[in-house]
Amino acid sequence: MQRHRVRKVLSIIMAGIVLFSIGWLICLKNNSKNMTQQQLPQKWHLNGLSKNGLSNDTQTILKNGQKYELFYLVDTGKGLEANQQRTRWARSVSSDLTTFKVADSADIKPVSQQESVATGSIVKDADNLSGHGKNSLLAYATKYINGNQWTYMWYSTNQGENWHVAHNGKPVAKPYKEGKDFRDPHVIYDSDAKQFVMTVAEADDNNHMKIGFYISKNGTTWQYTDSFYSPRDLGTLEVPEIHQIYQKNNNQKQWILFFGANGFADDFQKSTGSYYVVGQLKNGQFEAETDPKRVDFGTDYYAAHNYQENNEQLLGFGWMGNWDYINRVSDDIKYKGNYSAFRKMFLSSDNKLKTSKIITNGLFDTKKKTALVRTHSKSHIKTNKAAYKISTVVNGNQKLTIRAGNGDSNVSFHFNNFDKKMTVHRQSNYVTNDAYNKDYNINLWGDWSEKVDFYVDQYSIEVFWPKTGQVATFAKYSNDSGDNIVFDNLDNKSSSLVVQEMK
């Protein structure tokens, strides 16, 4: 009898231990979902979901009431080598675009170990042309299967909470020849022509990458209509999208074709980047009116997505990464491949895409650290937080360096406003790659004297010229939580340096 009681007590104890262990494992598994923004590396930017893998291409911004739903690509933790990746879509939600909640599953994911679900887009079917219901959402994405790149389709009838496979799980679009590049479908509804338009990155007979245009009346059956080739050799063209927008203040309607250029054969920027071309779209045929121009002038703004806020304004964000060095970043840097600050953009009367605002929503303390920078002298300011804003006026020839307190990284910006040029140099203990460390030059739009803002977070620096609307985004890799800022005034005119740390 005594032995039976002992066994019973031991059984109860063991059951308790098992239940505790299960609960602990569940908490551990969901830890990344429950972490607050302050516990993640980037304090006010969207962090990638994949802690040990890689987050990269943006997919879509959806607006549901007062909330933004942000879709982006992550791998499943198999590694960063191309033959090991198993990518899928993930989703985060935000009401202010500076704090984010990971909702994770988008149900747009592989169904076998032989495939990956990659970049695509979401479009609203307001008139039920697809047969999936009025105001249903249609998602399109590339599946990589056995060396092929095919376009598949999903649909949602509850504003993107749940997704269902469409077209009986069969591809809705394929390249004209098996095995050809055919990826990154972006679909819009052209209300004037009353049809869907799809842009796709695809290869021709000579394996030159171009942007293909397709039209459809039902979102399932697609007809080829046109191709866009870059007039300059920018390398591999991919991740296209197209928007109709009016030039600011003059009601001139234009179409903007966006795309990523993963190479630099004929580009003085010598870095991958996001580009745009302004033109006209008629019945699925695009006629360019400008040469390609950079959306962002830094090294780390790629695979971007833009949401149409109104006839004159786009809301955009991009992947802060670069294929020239992202795979060489040490595993000591967690959540590789984060996302830029959200920005509002407009098209000027001379067809320049400009940024009017970097969204921060009062993040930075009104208490400021200020330093007067006299002619031919240096000033130093130390920050105690990883996230802060620097404001200054650059006159002529000046240099600003942001150096981590523990010395694991530094980034310098050398302004030469006489020649309208800025040279950027980066160094990090966590990146052993010449493409990251080399000098990078930017041609500036402004005058001899220009106000410049620097938005700094743990893994990023975004440089913004408010007057000209120019932006340059750079990844920085540091695990320190404070920086030393050095302003070297090489000009004959005094300036000032203002630093506001995040609240």
pLDDT digits (tens, 9 = 90+) for 157-191: 998 889 999 999 999 999 999 999 999 999 999 99
Half-sphere exposure of 1 (CA within 13 A, CB side): 0
Among the residue ranges 132-141, 229-238, 277-286, the one predicted with the least confidence is: 229-238
Say what the pLDDT of residue 79 is.
Answer: 46
5 membership: H or E segment, kind and range: helix 2-29
Amino acid making up residue 209? M
pLDDT of 28 over the 50 cut: no
pLDDT of 32 over the 70 cut: no
Q: DSSP character for 111?
A: S
- Greater pLDDT, 22 or 183: 183
The alpha carbons of the chain give a radius of gyration, in whole angstroms, of: 25
Q: DSSP character for 169?
A: G
Q: Residue ranges of the alpha helices (H) in 30-95? A: 31-34
pTM for the structure as a whole: 0.91
Beta carbons of 438 and 426 less than 8 angstroms apart = no
Beta carbons of 255 and 243 less than 8 angstroms apart = yes
Burial of 213 (0-12, 13-18, 19+ CB in 10 A): buried
Query: Among residues 460, 444, 353, which one has the least CA distance to residue 47?
Result: 460
Say what the pLDDT of residue 76 is.
Answer: 65
Q: What is the mean pLDDT of the chain?
A: 89
Place of tokens 């967690």: 334
Q: Where are the beta strands (DSSP E) in 29-172?
A: 55-64, 67-75, 87-94, 101-105, 115-125, 136-145, 148-156, 164-165
Segment 321-346 shows an average pLDDT of 92
- pLDDT digits over 194-244, tens only? 999 999 999 999 999 999 999 999 999 999 999 999 988 888 999 999 999
Structure tokens belonging to residue 455:
């938005």
Say what the pLDDT of residue 104 is.
Answer: 67
pLDDT classification of 268: cutoffs 50, 70, 90:
low
184 membership: H or E segment, kind and range: strand 182-190
Say what the pLDDT of residue 233 is.
Answer: 84
- CA 213 distance to own-chain centroid: 23
Q: Residue ranges of the alpha helices (H) in 94-207? A: none
- pLDDT digits over 430-464, tens only? 998 888 999 999 999 999 899 999 999 999 999 99
Say what the pLDDT of residue 175 is.
Answer: 96
Beta carbons of 103 and 34 less than 8 angstroms apart = no
pLDDT classification of 42: cutoffs 50, 70, 90:
very high
Say what the pLDDT of residue 50 is.
Answer: 65
Q: How far is CA 16 from CA 4, 19, 386, in A?
A: 18, 5, 42
> CA-CA distance, 461 to 476, in Å (whole number)?
7
Domains parsed from the chain with CATH numbers: 48-358 (2.115.10.20), 369-501 (2.60.120.560)
Please report, rounded to a whole number, the percentage of residues in the chain having pLDDT higher than 70.
Answer: 88
